[in-house]
Structure 1
């Protein structure tokens, strides 16, 4: 993949969508390209996360557990960002990521993101606004779930049937 195609790919990632071409170029130039074969593991559940991954092409399956206890959570297609939190803080991988077809991913190291945030304070402001907006939306969604669960708990038919 060429640098220009990597920049275009990164510009479609919601977290990076508001970045200037200069910042996208830095990310694209510094990212490490990884080619994965079908069934190849990108990372394992519980591993320390030091980077995020952008799926350039192919598909990555996210799953927890092993053997019969294994549960697929989602499939990440081209244009997906995997491990966004790891771009900002040290964390553990919540799931195992496995290629389901031949894939190419761009690995973006947390040190690079930290350097970019230090060198371009306006990027930090943009990313903070993006993440704050998402957090506010999540809190709102959780409030709706809380109300729905409260309505279920307040249902007199449910209470009378549980004796």
Structure 2
């Protein structure tokens, strides 16, 4: 995938929607790419989250492991970001992820992302607003679910 293709992919990721092409170019240029075989683990629940992953191709299965059982939570396809909070603050993986089929991912590390935030001081506020909107929407969904369960 050429740099322009990487930029186009990143521009469709909600976390990066506030970034201009010049910011996305810096992220894409510094990103590492990984190929995964079907069944290969990307990360494991509980380990330190040092980067976010953007699915470039294929499909990544998100799951939690309980005793000997894998409980599937979601599938992530191209353009999906996994572990986005890892680029903002130190955290641990809340789930595990593995390639359901042959897949390719791009890693965005915290250091690269922070460097862009430092160089472009208007960005943190834009990202904060987006995260606040998402959090509010999540609270509203939980309220709606709670009222349905209470009936």
Normalising by the smaller structure, the TM-score range is over 0.9
Please name the residue that 1:48 is paired with: 48
Structure whose CA Rg is larger = 1
Could you tell me how far 1:66 is from its partner in structure 2?
5.5
Map of 1:119 onto structure 2: 119
Supply the distance in 2 between the matched residues of 1:143 and 1:102 (Cα, whole angstroms).
38
Q: Which residue of 2 aligns with 1:142?
A: 142
CA distance in 1 between counterparts of 2:108 and 2:135 reads 22
TM-score by length of 2: 0.94
Residue 86 of structure 1 is matched in structure 2 by: 86
- Alignment CA distance shift 1:136-1:100 (3 Å): same
Q: TM-score, normalized by length of structure 1?
A: 0.87
Shift of residue 64, structure 1, vs aligned partner? 0.9
1:105 aligns with 2:105: yes
Higher mean C-alpha deviation, range 61-70 or range 99-108: 61-70
4+ runs of 1 displaced by more than 3 Å?
none
User: What's the counterpart of residue 3 of structure 1?
Assistant: 3
How far off its partner does 1:18 sit?
A: 2.6
* Pairwise CA distance, 1:26: 0.7
Query: Which residue of the partner structure matches residue 20 of structure 1?
Result: 20
Deviations 1:89-127 (A, max 9, x none): 111111111111111100000111111111111111211
